Amino acid sequence: MEIYLVGGAVRDKYLQRPVVDRDWVVVGATAQDMLNAGYQPVGRDFPVFLHPQTHEEYALARTERKVAAGYAGFQFYADKDVTLQQDLLRRDLTINAMAEDKQGNLIDPYNGLNDLQQGILRHVSPAFAEDPVRILRIARFAARYGFQIAPETMHLMQNMVSAGEVNALVPERVWLELAKGLMEKQPRRMIETLQACGALEIILPEIAALFGVPQRAEFHPEIDSGEHTLLTLQYAAEHDYCLEERYAALTHDLGKAITPSYLLPHHYGHDAAGIKPLQALNQRWNVPKNCAQLALLCCTYHIQLHSVSQLKPRTVLKILHKTDAIRRPQRFLQVLRVCMADARGRAGFKDKDYPQLQHWQKLQQAATNIDAAAIAQAQTRPELIATAIDQARLQQITPIQNAYRQTNAPSH
């Protein structure tokens, strides 16, 4: 029995990045050998075991072959005669196909270290094309490291898309990879990679449709709506936004592909147009509720939130209610942070002031600065309570909003 450290732990060691998880491959052993040594079985599709002390994963060296479409369509073979080189050959990228022995010696049969040093993502073998999830994984690695994709690998990915392999992806796997990619250092590179290979039109057609749609001339005519979306997403990443906020940043402008803002007499119309495509996207990939809800709020209200200097106090109160800002101030702050990313997601605007955020927070706080219980007790008819509370909130909001309208010109 020979044991090797493999995959991401080896890759990240040579990148001088923190090693979070360590995976091991066992060569020259059977499942019974592992059980006899005290390892606990955890794998169903192929033999994977937990170390009795460290609880790290140890997998028997294996080969695999494609027998059906999709991620689950593989048949595995694991036995004593499978070599380390055979096990590494089945992996996706050369930078993930390196191993170390017990003495720390590098085993690199597919030149992964050279690709790592050159900043290249390259497939190990043509078997890469058998697993459509690898398209998403390579896009995620591009977002993590900023590496370039080898031309032959990009060509292979394009062929996979043309062959319909991407259509076999299941929602759980897609969202898992998208969510990881959104949380990487350069999430725009994930979208750009998917676009380059043709997968974006299948996985995120709502995002793909934004490219080529002009922005309003007075905002940022030098870029289209797709590039603006990437700049917004990248701003969110550079300022350590959470997953919910980054997903909302990615999807906030979907309506522009349906009702381009440059065709509108005013720029509120594409908000409502974006709701249906966003709902379709959320449903297609089973987007978690918290991400889906924040994205819908941002898509629906971001233009009105930008344009607060044009709103009457009663409209302000209506928006506070519709966004549930009074009951959920922290989520409302997330909406405002996405709006700020949107406002700054254009060339030359990255550090531009965004006073709307502080003003909306001030309005939200004013709306809660009432004694709702006392107002309710003072009403003789229960059906008048809500109206009375709203009137009290409006009295708090009105002087703040009127002063803001007088001193602030529209900024978006």
pTM metric for this prediction: 0.90
Residue 235 pLDDT exceeds 80: yes
Q: List CB contacts of 218: < 8 A, sequence separation 6 or more.
A: none
230 & 363 share domain: yes
Residue bearing the bigger pLDDT, 65 or 381: 381
Do residues 95 and 210 both lie within one domain?
no
**End residue of a domain, out of 118, 142, 165:** 118
Each residue of 77-108: pLDDT tens digit?
Answer: 888 889 999 999 999 999 999 999 999 999 99
**263 or 91, higher pLDDT:** 91
pLDDT for the residue numbered 269: 46
Closest Cα partner for 332 from 275, 299, 374, 294? Answer: 294
Q: How confident is the model at residue 398 (pLDDT cuts 50, 70, 90)?
A: very high
Judging by DSSP bridges, how do beta strands 23-27 and 2-6 pair with one another? antiparallel
Quote the pLDDT of residue 78: 82
Mean pLDDT of 12-36: 91
Domain final position from 69, 101, 118: 118
* pLDDT for 211 beyond 80: yes
Check pLDDT > 80 for residue 233. Answer: yes
Distance CA 146, CA 140 (A): 10
The first and second tokens of residue 186, run together, are 């350069």
* Helix ranges (DSSP H) in 239-274: 243-251, 269-273
pLDDT in tens, 148-198: 999 999 999 999 999 999 998 999 999 999 999 999 999 999 999 999 999
Please report, rounded to a whole number, the percentage of residues in the chain having pLDDT higher than 90.
Answer: 74
Is the pLDDT higher at 75 or at 174? 174
Q: 54 phi and psi, to 5 degrees? A: -85, -20
Same domain, 213 and 316: yes
Domain that holds residue 41: 2-118
In the structure, what pLDDT confidence band is assigned to residue 220 with cuts at 50, 70 and 90?
Answer: low
Looking at the structure of the chain, the number of domains it has is: 2
Question: Comparing 222 with 29, which gets the higher pLDDT?
Answer: 29
Is residue 94 one of the residues assigned to a domain? yes
- Take residue 9 and report the two structure tokens written for it: 């732990």
- What CATH number does residue 45 fall under? 3.30.460.10
Domain-terminating residue out of 99, 118, 137: 118
Is a pLDDT exceeding 50 seen at residue 412? no
**Mean pLDDT of all residues belonging to the chain:** 90
Phi and psi, residue 202, nearest 5°: -95, -45
In what helix (H) or strand (E) does residue 117 lie, and over which residues does it extend? helix 112-118
Statement to judge: residues 356 and 249 lie in one domain: yes
- Residue 18 pLDDT greater than 80, yes or no: yes
